[in-house]
Structure 1
Amino acid sequence: MNDKLLRVGTTYIPVTNVELSSEWYVNKLGAELSYKDEDKAILNFANQSIFLVKSNENQSSNFYDINGVERFSLTFEVNGLSALKAIHKDFTEKEIRVGEIENRGHSGRNFVFYDLDSNKFDVWSELSPTFKEKYLK
């Protein structure tokens, strides 16, 4: 059987205010807004569709691991350490809540950032080999 899951097409992120959050993603992260109503906004960025879905207060896409450490549900990739440092600087200048650039003991470096609803995201300095092969020719 050759049928298989090919890619993640859409990610859903809980937000308390669709209007403010969609503006934040467009202005801070460079997302492209393709649709918005009272309950959701559809954004295009990082080669996928992101739905911001109106949710109750104190909802987030974060979770806690077995050791009680809050984790992110998404890691964005950039092309190399210099790109990671540039994006970290840009996010800091845009007053996005960011963590320090970290060495987590594997290849590359990472940092975390948060949106208006404290959804936690990761940025990694390494592009996947498949993405490089297909899209960076």
Structure 2
Amino acid sequence: MDKKLIRVGTTYLPVQDVPKSADWYVENLGAKLNYMDSDKAILDFANQSFFLVNAMKNQRGNFYDASGKEHFSCTFEVDGLENLKILHNEFLTMGIEVGEIEDRGHTGRNFVFYDLNGNKFDVWSELSSEFKRRHNQ
């Protein structure tokens, strides 16, 4: 196959209040606001574009796996365990809902956090080898 998917360009997240949600992402995650109207906000952070889309009540990007456990649909990466611990503490200090740092039986450690709409995300302490290669890390 000559044509390959290169990267994920945009992630869409359901939110209840576009301006309030955009402010949360800018203030708490360091996102850059590129555009906003009553239906959506377009943000840049973590080397990607995120659209916050005005959604129906109780819509979230999470899902339940086969065992009934709520699952995230996105994992962010940080560079090393020390940076994971620092970010975890920063999120706690800012009042962001976070889980404990976990050992899931693979390289590195993880924790989950939620945005103000209940969208669940994961953070992993290891940068992918492809990212390191492309960015000379």
Into which bin does the TM-score normalised by the smaller protein fall? over 0.9
2:7 is matched with 7
TM-score by length of 2: 0.98
Distance in 1 (alpha carbons) for counterparts of 2:77 and 2:105 = 17
Structure 1 unpaired stretches of 5+: none
Code of the aligned partner of 1:88: H
Give the % identical residues: 62
1:60 is matched with 60
Q: CA deviation at 1:3?
A: 1.5
The count of residues paired between Structure 1 and Structure 2 equals 137
Distance in 2 (alpha carbons) for counterparts of 1:119 and 1:106 = 24
Structure 2 unpaired stretches of 5+: none
Distance in 2 (alpha carbons) for counterparts of 1:34 and 1:89 = 28
2:23 is matched with 23
Distance in 1 (alpha carbons) for counterparts of 2:32 and 2:89 = 21
Supply the RMSD in Å over aligned alpha carbons: 0.7
1:102 is matched with 102
- Correspondence 1:71-86 to 2 at 5 A: 71-86=71-86
Code of the aligned partner of 1:16: Q
Counterpart check, 1:32 vs 2:35: no
1:122 is matched with 122
Q: CA deviation at 1:13?
A: 0.2
TM-score by length of 1: 0.98
Q: Secondary structure at the match of 1:121?
A: strand
